[in-house]
Amino acid sequence: MRESDYAALAMFRFQIRSFPAFSETAAARQGLTPTQHQALLGIKGFGPAGPATIGDVARFLLIRHHSAVELIDRLAKLGLVSRAADPADARRVHLKLTKRGEQKLKALSQKNLEELRRAASPAFSQLLRSFRRSDNSKSEA
């Protein structure tokens, strides 16, 4: 490992740590907690084919089922999520973002992607270039 490899890795790790702070601030500006933002994202994009369930949200957020129920209750009160009984199994509840939930998630997702493009992508590219140079110098030896 060269000194430049450590510098590239350090910058990349800094960007990894900086991104959640950026994302949390962006969520707060939308009136959401970071967990609420992550739940909206999980409902929209994480679940298997078909509508997300409370169990999907719990798995996505690495929280207990009852904690996910409470979180969904709060999101429903904010008018961001709606619930519907699964027609095949009344014990299961399907979750869907409301129009307001979709709007908030879209705004946050656009800001997060912009930040990733701005900050993390160059740091990741620098890291990969640094390690490629390091690998090439080993193969030449």
**Span 100-131, pLDDT tens digits:** 999 999 999 999 988 888 877 777 777 767 76
Residue ranges of alpha helices (H) inside 30-120 are 34-45, 54-61, 65-77, 99-115
Taking a C-beta distance cutoff of 8 angstroms, is the pair 105, 40 a contact? Answer: yes
Of 51-55, 68-72, 75-79, 89-93, which gets the smallest average pLDDT?
89-93
**Span 8-34, pLDDT tens digits:** 888 888 888 999 999 999 999 999 999
For every residue of 13-40, DSSP letters joined together read HHHHHHHHHHHHHHHHHTT--HHHHHHH
Average pLDDT, the chain: 88
| Residue 87, phi then psi, degrees to nearest 5 | -60, -25
pLDDT over 70 for what percent of the chain?
Answer: 87
